[in-house]
Amino acid sequence: MPQLNPHPWFYIMLLAWFTLSLMIQPKLLSFFPTNPIHNKSPLNTKTHPWTWPWT
């Protein structure tokens, strides 16, 4: 069964992971996000209890 022979596929997988981790990932991580997170104080909303009609 040729699909159980890991000889060519293992090296292709290793080459793909090394390419991703060493070349592509640093380039992707260098981009700045388009919507940066700002330090905003959370809004305090006043909640009202629900009045159930059967109580």
Query: Domain locations in the chain?
Result: 1-30
32-47 pLDDT, tens digit each? 776 767 777 777 778 8
**pTM for this one?**
0.43
6-37 pLDDT, tens digit each? 778 888 899 999 888 888 888 877 877 767 67
13 class by beta-carbon count within 10 Å (0-12 exposed, 13-18 middle, 19+ buried): exposed
Residue type, 34: T
Q: Looking at beta carbons, which pairs linking 44-48 to residues 24 or more positions away fall under 8 Å?
A: none
DSSP state of 35: S
Residue 6 CA to residue 8 CA, distance in Å, equals 6
Residue type, 38: H
